[in-house]
């Protein structure tokens, strides 16, 4: 496996980070954030987990506002049209585009 073709994803559903091949990115759509690299463990907000907590009502992990700015690969997400639009704040993700995206996921 060529490491250059691997992308790091963060799942908003499970709170896990994992690598997938670039070709498979589309399968992960809007419930995942593509990361440029693994978040630094020294972040005071998330300690490298990339999330700061869980939205209990909607059942997804809230991305760290500091790390999402630093590590989210917005270009990759745009080029594959994985995200509806670049979220302005985490509140936007929670209340608008993400909630809409969640409804489209089978079984949610």
Distance, C-alpha 67 to centroid of its chain: 11
The 34-73 site mask, x for binding Zn ion (CB under 5 A), equals ---------x-xx-----------------x-xx------
Name the residue nearer to Zn ion (CB basis): 9 or 64.
64
Q: What residues are paired with 19 via a beta bridge?
A: 8
- The site for Zn ion, by CB under 5 A, has a size of 6
Name the residue nearer to Zn ion (CB basis): 53 or 95.
53
Sign of the four-CA dihedral 84, 64, 73, 2: negative
Name the residue nearer to Zn ion (CB basis): 69 or 104.
69
CB of 52 to Zn ion, least distance (A): 7
Q: Cβ atoms within 10 A of the Cβ of 80, count? A: 15
Contact 94, 70 (CB under 8 A): no
What DSSP designation does 32 have?
E
CB of 45 to Zn ion, least distance (A): 4
- Contacting positions for Zn ion (CB under 5 A): 43, 45-46, 64, 66-67
């Amino acid at each position: 496996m060529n490491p250059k073709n691997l992308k790091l994803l963060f799942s908003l559903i499970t709170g896990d980070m994992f690598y997938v091949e670039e070709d498979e990115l589309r399968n992960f759509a809007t419930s995942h954030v593509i990361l440029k690299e693994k978040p630094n463990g020294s972040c005071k907000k998330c300690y490298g987990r990339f999330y700061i907590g869980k939205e209990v009502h909607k059942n997804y992990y809230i991305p760290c506002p500091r790390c999402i700015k630093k590590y989210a690969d917005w270009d990759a997400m745009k080029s594959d049209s994985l995200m509806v639009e670049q979220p302005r704040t985490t509140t936007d993700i929670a209340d608008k585009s993400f909630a809409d995206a969640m409804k489209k996921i089978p079984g949610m």
